[in-house]
Structure 1
Amino acid sequence: MSSPSPDRLQGAVAALCPEIEQRVRRNERPHSERELWRELSCCLLSSQVPYDLADAAAQAIDREGLLLSGHVDPAAIEALLSAPLDLAGRLRRYRFPVARAAQLAATHQAVIDEAGGLVSLLDSFVDAGVARRWFVTRAPGFGPKQASMFLRNVGYSYDLAVLDRHVLNYMLALGLTQDRPPGTLTNYRRWEAQLTDHARELGYPVGLLDWAIWIVVRTARGMRWEVGVA
């Protein structure tokens, strides 16, 4: 099957943006401390792991309330992540139980030390850029992509781009960039600025546009614009 043309990709993404925008606006509301921790854990756990598996792991952690106390035991998280997870009736194992358990526990401690909880922490930031930098520099396991995803998914900001491989493939397919894939926060911001310009041309915030891109490119058959990033 041939790869979709750049024009078809852009058209499909643009057609999906209004639906995503409506869905986001309908669901806008303050999030509880528990909801924020569930989303944070899902974003951290999704690095180099299929999103549906990361989501199942995050739900398991949430059910046990492992991130809701003042002190988190990484061994308890590791034990849970090491056990098979039910994914639509199939048992799957999480890929990095030891490393991610340690990162979640360390991130939890950093949040508690800084502000006492995620609600207070998010309220303390002056803007989304400052918030993202805090997570990238202070939360183990969080790069720019995971931090941007968390802040977008909880409705904190739609002005940050989640540059996963699907979005990067889209950018390369449309000729939006010829740069190397972003490896540092500085390079990430350069790619983000290029995608933000494209989003502005289409009339949507970049944080909603990249959501549409993720859906379209993930489901497109025959993609050939791989750039070798997770």
Structure 2
Amino acid sequence: MIKLKKNKHFNEIEKIYKEMSPHLKERLKEFKNIWENGSNKDIHLELSFCILTPQSKALNAWQAITNLKKDDLIYTGKAEELVEFLNIVRFKNNKAKYLVELREQMTKNGELITKDFFDSLPTVTEKRDWIVKNIKGMSYKEASHFLRNVGFGEDIAILDRHILKNLVKLEVINELPKTLTPKLYLEIEEKMRNYCKFVKIPMDEMDLLLWYKEAGVIFK
């Protein structure tokens, strides 16, 4: 078992945190507002965005969603129509199919029910588990990303390469995992959860902080 400690890498991160904390909190507040004030369509966009993110830049994935939204194609288009707008993300053909399947899953009586459906699942764990089991193209990472982006990220981790690399440097984990099985994902998430409690930085703020450190922006 790794003993928790604040090493030199943490000291560097802590300096950035002290400077960026107000901005991180503001961004997380914006995420919560998306859920509180958003419609079924708004929440559906956030879920669709996370289908596009695997092995693609988040900025490109969001640009693709923005382009699809302009003509309502994200809500009405066939896979062969959607794919024309997905050249800036990887695996565009599969992802176009996943977007259509997602829309069909989240439609009832001709209307999107994305927010209403997830609102009916009482806990974050239930929401995430349902996504992983039922939505093609989404693993724990993508499911966690979606939930964080709509204000449910206080106690879950988005274990992308930025985060995992920093967890090694912080000595939270010994090495980068070669593959991230569901079991290993949850184990590393628990280690990160304990570490965040130890250093007194909320988990969702730590995620944005480490992402900012690597990418230079607070995005989504």
TM-score by length of 2: 0.82
Structure 1 distance, partners of 2:194, 2:21, is 16
Which of 149, 156, 172 is the matching residue for 1:153? 149
Structure 2 distance, partners of 1:205, 1:126, is 22
Equivalent residues in 2 for 1:119-130, closer than 5 Å: 119-130=115-126
Moved over 3 A (4+): none
- 1:138 and 2:145 are equivalent in the alignment: no
Structure 2 distance, partners of 1:56, 1:151, is 20
Secondary structure of the residue aligned to 1:68 is helix
Q: CA RMSD in A?
A: 2.3
Which of 17, 21, 44 is the matching residue for 2:25? 21
Which of 204, 210, 213 is the matching residue for 1:207? 204
Structure 1 distance, partners of 2:46, 2:154, is 16
- 1:183 and 2:180 are equivalent in the alignment: yes
Structure 2 distance, partners of 1:17, 1:194, is 22
Q: Is the 8 A contact 1:73 1:105 kept in 2?
A: yes
Deviation string, structure 1 residues 55-101 (Cα, Å, up to 9, x no partner) = 110111111222335xx52222113324xxxxxxxxxx433221110
1:102 to 1:192, Cα distance in 2 relative to 1, 3 A: same
Structure 1 distance, partners of 2:144, 2:16, is 20
- Counterpart of 1:185, as a letter, is P
Q: Is the 8 A contact 1:151 1:157 kept in 2?
A: yes
Structure 2 distance, partners of 1:160, 1:95, is 26
The structure whose residues are more often helix, as a share, is 2
Deviation string, structure 1 residues 10-58 (Cα, Å, up to 9, x no partner) = 3245323343113423663222222212212221111101111111101
1:116 to 1:56, Cα distance in 2 relative to 1, 3 A: closer
1:12 to 1:46, Cα distance in 2 relative to 1, 3 A: farther
Equivalent residues in 2 for 1:73-112, closer than 5 Å: 73-82=78-87, 93-112=88-107
**Identity over aligned pairs, percent:** 23
Structure 1 distance, partners of 2:201, 2:117, is 28
Q: Is the 8 A contact 1:37 1:118 kept in 2?
A: yes
Q: Which residue matches 1:45?
A: 52
Q: Is the 8 A contact 1:110 1:138 kept in 2?
A: no
Cα offset, 1:218, TM superposition: 2.6
Structure 2: where are the runs of 5+ without partners?
1-7
Secondary structure of the residue aligned to 2:86 is helix
The answer to which of 45-54 and 200-209 deviates more is: 200-209
Secondary structure of the residue aligned to 1:94 is coil
1:116 to 1:55, Cα distance in 2 relative to 1, 3 A: closer
Secondary structure of the residue aligned to 2:46 is helix
Structure 2 distance, partners of 1:123, 1:46, is 23
Cα offset, 1:8, TM superposition: 4.0
Structure 2 distance, partners of 1:44, 1:9, is 33
Structure 2 distance, partners of 1:157, 1:8, is 24
TM-score by length of 1: 0.79
